[in-house]
Structure 1
């Protein structure tokens, strides 16, 4: 009867050396002259070219800061390319608008639109005007100004909620990455 041969790679302790069976890894270095870091970030050598540079993260960031998408194009070609990009990517901006199911250009949510209606403001108003309108309206119906008036208290509560919605939206816009 033939006896099966067991591997030395079972159980603990391992009966072979840890270095056995480990081949060298091929690592691509950064294409920046003099850099010894791993080049794992591909970057195009020129617009519409399949050839790529491979940079480390530091040099990829440096490369991207100086990248000109319209390099080598005259004004008409650059305008045509920008128009093509807007046309091809317009579905993405429309989808941002429709995801909120609100009116306007898609920069405000439905809750923000309702809050602007409560304050009696237009859609394209800036936050300074929102704050000013809220203060003026809140001073008219504040419970300290009209004590015991239930309707004024309800109106003040509506104004306060509308302002909170708009203030929170403004805070999110200010802290959004990339803006």
Structure 2
């Protein structure tokens, strides 16, 4: 008479994980030379190629660090692609009226980021820093300081518009808030 063998999943709850067995599991290693971590993050070997590298999370982040979605596009194509992406993903966008986020973590609009670049400030600058930066720059190119200088007047207007954009955004945040 043959000896009965007990299965691995007798009783409830299951005593083993789903898809688990007694045999050894095959784990794909990271394709980066010398890395012994599991390679569970696929990355294309070439554009439009079905072949993939498989990296661990550390090396996948290194691989993607300088990747530019808009590489090779002129300014008009970049704007068209950005608009198309925003239209396609509009259903997934977080509504701005929730205001859960703080500056520097994606809550700034592209206009605000451009205004911060004009003022040469970091993306996570608070409004007090914005105000101070604007005043310091405006004092250097103000029309009263440099009368008759058209270039300084244009720079002052650019700084003024950037400050107004950031001030309006700050007021919206305070109002929601």
What's the TM-score, normalizing by structure 1? Answer: 0.42
**RCO higher in structure (CA 8 A, sep ≥6):** 2
Structure 1 or 2, whichever has the larger Rg, is 1
